[in-house]
Amino acid sequence: MTTARRVSTRFAFALVLAATWSIALPQLAEAQPGGQALKPKLAGMALVQALQQGGYTILLRHMATTPFNPDSAVFDIDDCATQRNLSESGEQQARLLGESFKKLGIGVGEVLSSPYCRCMDTGQLAFGEVLSSEVLRVGDSRPGSGRDDPGIAIRKLLDTPPPAGRNGVLIAHSITLLYAYGLTGKPEGVAHVFRPSGLGIGQPQYIGMMKPDEWPVHAGLSAPGASQ
């Protein structure tokens, strides 16, 4: 086979592979390792009632942020001025989340957060004490990268049981949700709930999701459809 034909064949294969991924990627939001579909088991008040019993882990994306494109050359994880931060709406969402949990009687145990300011602020405004976790930050590693695969570490955190009667909270980014199980990161502030197996194998059971404006509605703090 001539060099020109080999290049042409490789190019054609690349096009086929790209087309295959364009079809497969949307399905990531519905699948987890082993091919088990990530179908919500509970929603709305039924999900709230489950959380009231404790024993779950909540993977939460940070609340609404201001439009901002950080300059990577000056980015500093310890300097919020170099990052995209919570908007006033996002700060209010975080406060309402904490108030909703208190009114609904949802117990919270350890709260781990990406060290980015928008995540730490979400946790502190909602729950008070927050611990920074490098596992939950945006990094250079990608799923499938072996020992450094961020998805493995995230799934292990999701599979760690909280203290009795309480729920663990992990606050992260949209890309972190994708690393975990291909979960949707929209809208900002979306929460995905898992039941840890307690076996340490990184295979918690997916329970359901809640959007940020749903919590205060269930708690009676706002009317359905009210702007947060």
Per residue in 115-135, pLDDT (tens digit) is 999 999 999 999 999 999 988
In this predicted model, which residue has the larger pLDDT, 155 or 226? 155
CATH fold for the domain made of 31-218: Rossmann fold (3.40.50)
* Residue of 61, 51, 42, 99 whose CA lies nearest to 217: 99
Report the relative pairing of strands 108-113 and 131-132 from DSSP bridges: parallel
Average pLDDT, the chain: 81
Res 7 pLDDT > 70:
no
Categorize the per-residue pLDDT at 148 as very low, low, confident or very high, splitting at 50, 70 and 90: low
* Residue of 190, 109, 196 whose CA lies nearest to 160: 196
What integer is the mean pLDDT of 3-21? 38
User: For position 8, what pLDDT does the model report?
Assistant: 41
Categorize the per-residue pLDDT at 5 as very low, low, confident or very high, splitting at 50, 70 and 90: very low
Sign of the alpha-carbon torsion through 118, 141, 151, 28: positive
What integer is the mean pLDDT of 18-40? 44
What integer is the mean pLDDT of 207-225? 90
In this predicted model, which residue has the larger pLDDT, 160 or 150? 160
Report the relative pairing of strands 205-210 and 191-195 from DSSP bridges: antiparallel
User: For position 187, what pLDDT does the model report?
Assistant: 95
Q: Where are the beta strands (DSSP E) in the chain?
A: 57-61, 108-113, 131-132, 167-172, 191-195, 205-210
In this predicted model, which residue has the larger pLDDT, 121 or 175? 121
3-state secondary structure of 44: helix
What integer is the mean pLDDT of 196-216? 91
Burial degree of 168 (CB within 10 A; 0-12, 13-18, 19+): buried
Rounded Cα–Cα distance for residues 123 and 41 (Å)? 26
Tokens standing for residue 196: 């840890």
Res 160 pLDDT > 50:
yes
User: For position 35, what pLDDT does the model report?
Assistant: 38
What integer is the mean pLDDT of 176-195? 89
Provide the residue ranges of all domains of the chain, joining segments of one domain with +.
1-29, 31-218
Determine if the peptide bond prior to 115 is cis (ω within 30°). no
* Residue of 90, 150, 77 whose CA lies nearest to 116: 77
Least confident interval from 100-104, 134-138, 150-154, 171-175: 150-154
